[in-house]
Amino acid sequence: MWTRLAAGSLTTALALTIIGCTTKPQAPEAVIEDKVFAVTPAAEQVKAGIMVGEMTDMKVAERVEKGSGRVDTPPHLTATLKLKDASADQSASAIAGAVRYIGADGKPIALEDQRSNLAISSSTYGSGSERLDPGQETTRSVDVDFPAAALQANKLKEIRLELTYIPSAYKDETVDLPVSIAAGK
């Protein structure tokens, strides 16, 4: 009896293994590739009040499904923003940065629904801890949403960079303290 029970269990286990291990035809995995659009010029000078510098390595990239052209990840603008406090006597605390896209007609180009990331993010932007004294520099990575409509030829006229900072007076003063040393005991 034990032999029959063992043989039946073994047969059942073998049948389940064979049924469970059959391969099901799978749809081929879609190949996703990056589609990169050059921004011309790729670098521009920046001057906003006492803040000067440049935005470099500008490019727009989106991820698309090869063959079908279906957009997997909408377009993003990436760049490097270098800023310097050009003032001789003012510090500046960086508060925020944002990007806007201006069309050939001079009007802003809006992002698609569900997309709104236009802020230049950083762990220090917005915290008030990024203080630049005269002559000091900082570098930020820019990675913001880009409107798909602006990828059409002659649609985009300019990229507007909005910087918010708080200038404060920077003083370097000298104080003389008249002193004398008493005779040692």
Q: Which among 67, 116, 92 is positioned nearest to 166, based on CA atoms?
A: 92
CB atoms within 10 A of CB 64: 17
- Residues 61-92: pLDDT tens digits? 999 998 888 989 999 999 999 999 999 989 99
Q: Which residue is listed with tokens 């990007």? A: 99
Residue 127 is inside which H or E element, if any?
Answer: none
Query: Nearest to residue 96, comparing CAs of 162, 22, 30?
Result: 162
The encoded tokens of residue 137 equal 């520099």
Q: State the pLDDT at residue 79.
A: 95
pLDDT (tens digit, 9 = 90+) per residue, 91-147? 998 778 999 999 999 999 999 988 899 998 755 444 445 789 999 999 989 999 999
Determine the average pLDDT of the residues in 32-45. 92
Q: What is the pLDDT of residue 124?
A: 46
In 3D space, the residue among 120, 175, 168 whose CA is nearest the CA of residue 144 turns out to be 120
Region of 84 (left: φ > 0; alpha: ψ -120 to 50; beta: rest) is: beta
What's the token pair of residue 103? Answer: 């069309």
Closest among 126, 35, 43, 48 to 80, alpha carbons compared: 43
Closest CA to 65 of 36, 113, 37, 29: 29
In the DSSP assignment, the letter for residue 108 is B
Question: Please, what is the average pLDDT of the chain?
Answer: 83
Distance between CA atoms of 63 and 80, rounded to whole angstroms? 21
Cβ atoms 56, 82 nearer than 8 A:
yes
Number of other CB atoms surrounding residue 83 within 10 Å? 24
pLDDT in tens, 155-173: 999 999 999 989 988 777 7
* pLDDT range class, residue 18, cuts 50, 70, 90: low
Main-chain dihedrals φ then ψ at residue 87, nearest 5 degrees: -75, 150
37 within 8 A of 61, measured Cβ to Cβ:
yes
pTM recorded for the entire structure: 0.72
Q: Is the pLDDT of residue 6 over 60?
A: no
The DSSP secondary-structure symbol of 150 reads: G
